[in-house]
Chain A
Amino acid sequence: MLSWFKKIKRTHYSDEEWVKLLRRPPDEKAIHELREILRRGLINALASRIKRDREQIAEDYVQEALLKILDNLESYRYEARFTSWAMKIAIHEALTDLRRKHWKDISLNNLNGRDGSVPIIEVYSSEDPAPDYETGLRLMMQELQRIMEESLTEKQRLAITSVMVQGLPADQVAKLMGTNRNNMYKLIHDARMKIKHEFEKKGIELTDFLDKT
């Protein structure tokens, strides 16, 4: 791994040269070389996710990524290698599309609490519950339910329930709610902060629960 930078430095254009060569109208040789780098990287990155037709699928994503890279050249900040930055865009495009296809059948109907209500959250009892622990757990869940009902907005409740409780992917839930993944993260972060503060106000130590499980 230590030689990674040396290897990448030796045979490629400098970062400044990449940007210069790819400015419109882009240099064909540079495009060809970048395409090949992205293709090899994507095929390896997608190996655990796509078993069939991976090379063809990677080619399609490379084509889409190249357009995005050329359109966004001016946002490259020279903080990482140009090829690392370009690969980041290709990976993002590919995985966003794969997630979208995988979860294409979820709809607003799959989201619990879509009417603004809080789903009743219960926990499966353990096989041999310790009575004190079970009582504490039940009280904590009741408190979580109360905080969600009284302190969170309708959107926060829906986001928390869909992403954290149901485990649905944030970008797909965001799309259904008419927003994006970044805003969804902020929405859930604000909700987590509120819940945490409410528990603190009640003197409930969440880490105590985690330590006992």
Chain B
Amino acid sequence: MKLNRTILKRIIRAIADTRADEIACDECFRELDRFVELKLTGKSAEEALPLVKYHLDHCPACREEYEALFEALKVTGKRM
């Protein structure tokens, strides 16, 4: 299997960034609504929930759900 440098760099970055206190997907999901609300109200979600931020930066599936939830709540907030 041959890797290009972009993929190799991503793998090495993921290994180098590994932390002992990472949370997994279920815990991230529990906090995701609160995280998005903080973002939408202009507060620092990253400071309040740093492990959620870390997880979202390293888990593509959770990241996708975060971005979709952000888009959804943005529009449902507007018309209420």
CB pair B15–A91 under 8 Å, yes or no, is no
Known: A84-B36, A181-B61. A121 touches B3 (CB 8 A): yes
CB distance A124 to B41 under 8 Å? Answer: no
- Residues facing B in A54-93 (CB within 8 A) are 77, 79-81, 83-85, 87-88, 90-92
Interface flag for A126 (CB, 8 Å): yes
Q: Is the interface of A mostly helix, strand, loop or mixed?
A: helix
When each residue 26-66 of chain A gets 1 if its CB lies under 8 Å from chain B and 0 otherwise, what string results? 00000000000100111011110100000000000000000
Chain A 9-33 residues near chain B, CB threshold 8 A = 10-12
B contact face: mostly helix, strand, loop, or mixed: helix
Chain A: number of interface residues, binned into ranges? 35 or more
Instruction: Kindly provide the distance from the CB of B12 to the nearest chain A CB, expressed in whole angstroms.
Output: 5
How many Å from the CB of A119 to the closest CB on chain B? 4
**Which B residues form the contact surface with A (CB < 8 A)?**
1-5, 7-16, 18, 20, 22, 24-26, 29-30, 32-34, 36-37, 40-42, 59-61, 64-65, 68-69, 71-80
30 contacts between A and B (CB under 8 A): A1-B40, A4-B41, A5-B41, A7-B78, A10-B80, A40-B75, A47-B71, A77-B30, A88-B29, A88-B33, A88-B69, A91-B68, A95-B64, A99-B61, A112-B1, A122-B3, A123-B5, A124-B2, A140-B12, A164-B14, A166-B1, A182-B24, A182-B26, A189-B18, A189-B24, A192-B14, A199-B15, A207-B16, A210-B12, A213-B5
